[in-house]
Structure 1
Amino acid sequence: MNTGKVTLVGAGPGDPELLTLKALKAIQSASLLLVDDLVSREVVDHAPKTARVVYVGKRGGCKSTPQAFIEKLMLMAAREGESVVRLKGGDPFIFGRGGEEVEHLRAAGIEVEVVNGITSGLAAVTSLGVPLTHRDHAQGVVFLTGHARSGADAPDWKALAAAARDAHLTLVIYMGVRSAGRIQRELLAGLPPQTPVAIVQRASMPDQRHAVTTLGHLAETIASEGLASPSVIVVGDVVRGVAAAAAARVRAA
């Protein structure tokens, strides 16, 4: 049997220019691409014209292709000798179910490679001109999901708030827009209401939108600005630099 290979490729946050060279080479050598919903058309356009492209949408809160079906497709194609690329938004190993897919394929004896991509949490703050860590404001960063798997325990937001306060951490929350009210209430148990917050929708894309507010007005701001998924919520003192970064861009122009 001519067994193929599966490569999990991080397509980045959307901007095709943020693809890594290794990701580009993998896409260009694929015979089958299984593409997530948030991957931009410009990224998929790098695939060979002979490649089959199958969209297997995965987006929180929306109707999605069952994970078991995606894993079955990858397994079948690899066993038929295909060069399979599982193309994921952001990074496969940051809330991309990459770990589950690697375990499933390796257990079946399929060779798997993972190509990292720029995660949207990083691209979001970079687009606003501020860092995730800063020696004066943030000694570390925590990536979290606001959309826990059905039946799984949600993050302990109160404990995370205390840790962020005491250890000077930036919190980066993926898939948190729908749960913003609950997240806000629980974070306020350990963080002051004036804590700076940024919400960035469709980071790195031409239609990116964002709002800067405070933790005390998080849910209110999301509603008033009409921000929706896919968005990243960034909580911490590094957000204070957004106004200064914007002013510097204006002066440079």
Structure 2
Amino acid sequence: MAEHPAYPVGLRLTGRRVVVLGGGQVAQRRLPALIAAGADVRLVSPDATPSVEAMADAGEITWERRPYAEGDLADAWYALIATSDTEANTAASAEAERHRVWCVRSDDADRATAWTPATGHSEGVTVAVLTTDARHRDPRHTAAIRDAVVEGLRDGTLVAPHRRTRTPGVALVGGGPGDPDLITVRGRRLLAEADVVIADRLGPRDLLAELPPHVEVIDAAKIPYGRFMAQEAINNALIEHAKQGKAVVRLKGGDPFVFGRGMEEAQALAEAGIPCTVVPGISSSISVPGAAGIPVTHRGVAHEFTVVSGHVAPDDERSLVDWPSLAKLTGTLVILMGVDKIGRIAETLVAHGRSPETPVALVQEGTTAAQRRVDATLATVAETVVAREVRPPAVIVVGEVVGVGPHGTA
């Protein structure tokens, strides 16, 4: 058998009996894929890991709490043998052979009739990698090949032509806080498939350099518009390009729906009859503090955090923020777009009860190579911003969590 390569095949297990012997780490890794395939999974094992037990409690698998017994594989289509009992594994393998049940053995692959490939998934495609030569089987090498192929499909560096007609439309993609590695897998794939990308200034700019030459990149900040027509002009640009049959990506910083006006764009597209996909992104409100060593919550310190926009001052009639109520909270306050208003914000918080000694951290250009953190208090933050020349974009964190961690002031 070792002289011939394995024959690759995809098993359709929906509703079909699969028997798993052993409830340890091997079963824990393999069971989710079997469940996802719709298999009727029967686990035979005296005990199981907490994760496997949770699958049984949830009704995803049937668990018989006992050792393997002759006849367990009689009605199976596929078997995974992964117990710590070599004799039981050998007996079960022999039973599988007699009943012509494809059988994987975790303890002795050479005595199995089937091997589990290293698998990965990308947009409806399953990548499965097997080592064809049993004499040179290296699971780490196989997994590395799998990872390279899947990553290439996800980030667009490995491009396979689509034989189906692509549906034009717009994807509102949250690009994350700035580091190009922090965009979601789906967002990166949609970028690779785009014909037009309309990008915000705060989006992950490094990703734009990776786009193929034919992709039209439009800087949203440079779309011609009057002072109060910015969003309408962007909406019109999205609709115009989508109506030309192009795949359009609206690349935003953070998350499209966290102070990103994503819903305004989605509504405009819906009114124009343009298909719209929303791809959530990692919000700077939690990721930037985290990158600077600040947890927005911490046991015994903060049990809640509140995210507010600081683009208008507390005394501005356009403000929708209840600053007096925020001052009474004991948790963490995260302020976005508030660098130039932080002096008046700090005064308001102190005036309504927050201690002037409350720690404040300003994280500029968070998650990028230019990231820097500046610490202050509510009493000193206004002068600190000027003295240290803090500039947008910066995330401001107010609360005792600023003093937690190796970089804190506490």
Instruction: Give the TM-score range, shorter chain.
Output: 0.7 to 0.9
| Equivalent residues of 1:7, 1:115 under 8 A apart | yes
Corresponding position of 2:186: 22
Q: Among residues 117, 127, 131, which one is paired with 2:291 in the alignment? A: 127
Q: Could you tell me which of 322, 329, 337 is aligned with 1:156?
A: 322
Query: In the superposition, relative to structure 1, how do residues 6 and 206 fare at CA in structure 2: closer, same or farther (>3 Å)?
Result: same
DSSP 3-state at the match of 1:179: helix
In 1, are the aligned partners of 2:176 and 2:204 still within 8 Å (CA)?
no
CA contact (8 A) 1:4 1:77 kept: no
SS of 1:178's equivalent in the other structure is helix
Amino acid at match of 1:240: G
Q: 1:238 aligns with which of 401, 405, 408?
A: 401
| Shift in Å, 1:91 | 1.0
Count residues with an aligned counterpart: 237
Instruction: Please say if 1:191 is aligned against 2:191.
Output: no
The separation in 2 between residues aligned to 1:93 and 1:44, in whole angstroms, is 22
Q: Does 1:179 align with 2:341?
A: yes
Q: Which runs of 5+ in 1 are unaligned?
A: 248-253
Q: Is the 8 A contact 1:3 1:78 kept in 2?
A: no
**In structure 1, how many angstroms separate the alpha carbons of the residues matched to 2:389 and 2:308?**
22
SS at match of 1:133: coil
Report if the CA contact (8 A) 2:173-2:251 is conserved: yes
Q: Which residue of 2 aligns with 1:251?
A: none
TM-score in terms of structure 1 length: 0.87
* Offset of residue 183 of structure 1: 0.2
CA displacement, residues 184-231 of structure 1 (integer Å, 9 cap, x when unaligned): 110112210111110011101111121111111111111111101111
2:273 corresponds in structure 1 to: 109
CA distance in structure 1 between the partners assigned to 2:391 and 2:216 by the alignment: 31
User: In structure 1, what is the Cα distance between the partners aligned to 2:194 and 2:228?
Assistant: 23
Residue 4 of structure 1: CA displacement? 2.0
Amino acid at match of 1:177: V
> Which portions of structure 1, spanning 4 or more consecutive aligned residues, are displaced by more than 4 angstroms?
none
Separation in 1, partners of 2:232, 2:356:
42
Report what 2:376 is aligned to.
213
Equivalent-residue separation in structure 1 for 2:170 and 2:312 (angstroms): 27
Larger Rg: 2
The alpha-carbon deviation at position 14 of structure 1 amounts to: 1.0
Distance between the aligned counterparts of 2:234 and 2:307, measured in 1? 25
CA distance in 2 between counterparts of 1:113 and 1:151 reads 34
Report what 1:250 is aligned to.
Answer: none
Q: Per the alignment, do residues 77 and 174 of structure 1 end up closer, same or farther by CA in structure 2, a change over 3 Å counting? A: same
Tell me the equivalent position of 1:229. Answer: 392
Segments of structure 2 that go 5 or more residues without pairing to the other structure are 1-165
Does 2:286 align with 1:146?
A: no
1:154 offset after TM fit, Å? 4.3
Classify 1:65/1:37 alpha carbon distance in 2 versus 1 (closer, same or farther; 3 Å).
farther
Query: Cα offset for 1:64?
Result: 9.3
The question of whether the paired residues in 1 share the 8 Å contact of 2:362 and 2:397 is answered with yes
Residue from 226, 231, 256 that aligns with 1:67? 231
User: Any idea what the Cα deviations from partners look like across 1:58-116, whole Å, max 9, x if unmatched?
Assistant: 9xxxx898111110011111111110000011111111110111111112211111111
Structure 1 residues 228 and 237 mapped into 2: Cα distance closer, same or farther (>3 Å)? same
Decide whether the 8 Å contact of 2:402 with 2:408 is kept in 1.
Answer: no
Which SS does the other structure have where 1:184 is aligned? helix
> Does the CA contact (< 8 Å) of 2:312 and 2:341 recur in 1?
no
Supply the AA of the counterpart residue of 1:229. P
Cα pair 1:175 1:232 within 8 Å, conserved: yes
Deviation at 1:45, TM superposition (A): 2.3
CA distance in 2, matches of 1:26, 1:65: 28
Please report the TM-score for the alignment, with normalisation by the length of structure 2. 0.55
CA RMSD between the two structures? 2.2
Q: Deviations over 1:149-186 (max 9, x none)?
A: 99633422122111x23xxx211101111111110110
